[in-house]
Amino acid sequence: MASSENNILLKVEDLKMHFPIYKGLIRRQVGAVHAVDGISFDVMRGETLGLVGESGCGKSTTGRAILQLYKPTAGKIVFDGTNLVSLKSEDMRLMRRKMQMIFQDPYASLNPRMTVGEIVGEPLLVHNIASGREVDEQVAHLLEIVKLNPSFSTRYPHEFSGGQRQRIGIARSLALHPSFIVCDEPISALDVSIQAQVVNLLEELQEQFNLTYLFIAHDLSMVRHISNRIAVMYLGVIVELADRDTLYEKPLHPYSQALLSAVPIPDPFAESKHKRTILQGDVPSPVNPPSGCRFRTRCPIAESVCAESRPEFRELNPGHFVACHFADRFL
Amino acid sequence: MTNTTAAKQQKLISEGDSGALRSRSPWRDATGRLMRNKASVTGLVIILFFTLLTIFAPQIAPHNPLQLNSGQGFLPPSWVEESGNGTKGIPDYPLGTDTLGRDALSRIIYGARVSMIVGFAPTAIILLMGTFVGMMAGYYGGRWDNFLMRLTDIMYGFPDLLFFIITLVALRDTWIGEFMNGLFLLFLALAVVNWVGVARLVRGQVLSLKEKEFVEAARSIGAKDSRIMMKHLLPNILGPIIVQGSFAIPSMIITEAILGYLGLGLKPTTDPEAFFITSWGSLLLEGQSAINAQPYLLLAPAICVALVVLAFTFVGDGLRDALDPRMRGTQ
Ligand SMILES: Nc1ncnc2c1ncn2[C@@H]1O[C@H](COP(=O)(O)OP(=O)(O)O)[C@@H](O)[C@H]1O
Ligand code: SF4
Ligand SMILES: [Mg+2]
């Protein structure tokens, strides 16, 4: 993956997303959920960047803030040279043609009162791309692309299985020919038997339409197959970012190591070398995240410096970023 | 996870057997369930019956409801051989006559006009107003929301009946009170008191719906707020709104009867050209003053009010069950 500047499709710089918490009769702000707390990364044209972390660590919030479904508290999101944060709302609305989202819950993400045809065709109407018969034709084509029967377009979402619904959602996200898609745990709500089909479909579509993916998942086993690079997130920050193979073979952050040790390894020889790190305790609340390193309350190698200063997100090897004071030990 | 050839080989997937299902819109589904509810169908028949009465009153009523028949006052219904005051019912006046010798049946038939219109007109107003304000408050929050919630608190704190009596008495002789023989003012008063309930219902529904992923999906394809409200929110809250409306109708009819009984609301007229000649509430008042001479003058309109109110309540119950999303797809 060449890292020259014009290969970067999306650049996220120091993105923060805090949700205020209000209390009392006059709704005074008493605090904030630090859902995303200063993350930076690039997504290259045509690649799949996996974003992994336990549930509640801010992955969906990151995806939504990138697509401006939330107004970020701070930071820049530069897409194809345009900073989305400073766009006027009408300009952003037009920009949405280039960036789409596939949602986690195939049941909640389709309007139960609309037919499949209306759902998949809506983007075309919203942006005046087609009308009348053209919409029907394009919808039929989109359904074929995601390997659904075009005759399904007159039916309602409740008549379909989870996997079929997810395909409908994928068809909707493709309608505007976007170049970038945030896939927010698109397979974690599906039966294991269907997960592989959907991942394969996403890979085919990527090839066919030159798509760039930000692929969110809550465990490392799901992103291994599809990702080129992987970012590991913990409690609102990215702790490690590396090539897929590097991350799996030589994780440098204690949290990535712990996540990896939870992934079953097919190679028995690897298994013997593999020491298991079991994570202790729960994820702390994002309302009052720990000082210094966020992971220190659960880190097996934490020292006093970890409570005092926040470890810098630094490039230890070319393309391999880690936020840990002691990551050099694992080099 | 295997390579992509497996996915390429599988053609148009039809997981499950939904291919065999006939497609039915959620609305048709609900209508079907409503029609299988015996009480609701009975209610609908009764409502249809009274609606036809109001429309074809001049053709159906055996007499002119204003025609005085001196010497034939206080006749009992035709089936009564000898009433308390020694008179005998005659077939000409099936339900007897009032103190001035006017035909009781004809007056009840004309009175149905007021009850039906009082049921429907203010309900239509409160549904439109309540839906609009509730939608704005729930969707945009902020100032709209504060305004609505404070207003609701005030409305809920004030006794409804007292409000009706004060406004109807105070504005009785103004142009507004004279318009449509006082009916217009009655509509207004009923609407003012009842629209906040609808607004609150809609606000609550919108608040929970707008967090759903399909609304987020609509925003991410670039749909404007107006489209999201009309296409995504409204169709999904129409069910509860319809149910609320179907329960508002009988409560409006009862309120009219009570107010009419108190001598408020419609002013009974002697103008033969008037569309609204008398109301069931006014008939109750007249009947009550003649309870010893001719009890049927009170009983007949009371039974009509009860019948219509019950009919609407049955339909409301049936609608609530039929539109319950948990019932979707069941027989
Ligand atoms: N709209 C919101 N308002 C307040 N808090 C939120 C909101 N969305 C997410 N959060 C909080 O932000 C944190 C991260 O959530 P999320 O991004 O959904 O995590 P993930 O997708 O990794 O499971 C959670 O603690 C969640 O409760
Ligand atoms: S900085 Fe300290 S607490 Fe954080 S991961 Fe590294 S060793 Fe553990
Ligand atoms: Mg999530």
Domain contains B288: yes
Domain contains A270: yes
pLDDT of B199 over the 50 cut? yes
List Cβ neighbours of B41 (8 Å cut-off, separation of 6 or more): B35, B318
Residue identifier of the C-alpha nearest atom 1 of ligand 2: A324
- ipTM metric: 0.90
Domain contains A186: yes
Say how many domains are in chain A: 1
A150-208 pLDDT, tens per residue? 999 999 999 999 999 999 999 999 999 999 999 999 999 999 889 999 999 999 999 99
pLDDT grade for A262, boundaries at 50, 70 and 90 = confident
Q: Is A30 on the interface with B (CB under 8 A)?
A: no
Domain contains A207: yes
pLDDT at B74: 82
Domain contains A134: no
Say how many domains are in chain B: 1
pLDDT at B20: 40
Domain contains B51: no
Q: Give the residue-averaged pLDDT of A122-144.
A: 95
Span from the CA of A99 to the centroid of ligand 2 (angstroms): 35
Q: Which of B70, B86, B77 is nearest to B105 (CA)?
A: B77
A265-278 pLDDT, tens per residue? 555 555 545 556 67
pLDDT of A128 over the 50 cut? yes
Residue B95 sits in a domain of what CATH number?
1.10.3720.10
Q: Which two tokens stand for residue B326?
A: 């948990």
Rounded-to-integer distance, Cα B257 and Cα B284, Å: 8
Rounded-to-integer distance, Cα B287 and Cα A66, Å: 72
Is the CB of A322 within 6 Å of ligand 2?
Answer: no
pLDDT at B75: 84
Residue A240 sits in a domain of what CATH number?
3.40.50.300
List Cβ neighbours of B276 (8 Å cut-off, separation of 6 or more): B110, B113, B114, B117, B180, B181, B183, B266, B269
Is the CB of A50 within 6 Å of ligand 1?
Answer: no
Domain contains A239: yes
Looking at beta carbons, which pairs linking B93-97 to residues 24 or more positions away fall under 8 Å? B93/B62, B93/B63, B94/B62, B95/B296, B95/B300, B96/B294, B96/B296, B96/B297, B97/B69, B97/B72, B97/B73
Highest mean pLDDT among A142-146, B33-37, B163-167, B176-180: A142-146
Domain contains B199: yes
List Cβ neighbours of B75 (8 Å cut-off, separation of 6 or more): B83, B87, B88, B89, B90, B93, B96, B97, B101, B294
Of residues A64, A96, A169, nearest to B222 (C-beta): A96
Rounded-to-integer distance, Cα B154 and Cα B163, Å: 12
Is the CB of A306 within 6 Å of ligand 2?
Answer: yes
Domain boundaries, position B300: 57-327
Searching chain A, which residue's CA lies closest to the CA of residue B222? Answer: A93
Q: Give the residue-averaged pLDDT of A141-156.
A: 96
Q: Which two tokens stand for residue A189?
A: 């709500």
Rounded-to-integer distance, Cα A181 and Cα A212, Å: 6
pLDDT grade for A5, boundaries at 50, 70 and 90 = low
pLDDT of B295 over the 90 cut? no
Q: Give the residue-averaged pLDDT of A37-50.
A: 96
pTM for the model stands at 0.86
Residue identifier of the C-alpha nearest atom 9 of ligand 1: A61
Q: Give the residue-averaged pLDDT of B180-187.
A: 90
Q: Give the residue-averaged pLDDT of A97-103.
A: 97
Percent of chain B with pLDDT over 90: 52
Average pLDDT in chain A: 92
Q: Which two tokens stand for residue A296?
A: 């220190």
pLDDT at A266: 59
Q: How far is A189 from chain B (nearest CA, A)?
A: 14
B219-239 pLDDT, tens per residue? 999 999 999 999 999 999 999
B97-127 pLDDT, tens per residue? 888 889 999 999 999 999 999 999 999 999 9
- B224·A104 Cβ contact <8 A: no
Average pLDDT in chain B: 86
Q: How far is B232 from chain A (nearest CA, A)?
A: 7
Domain boundaries, position A295: 5-98+178-330
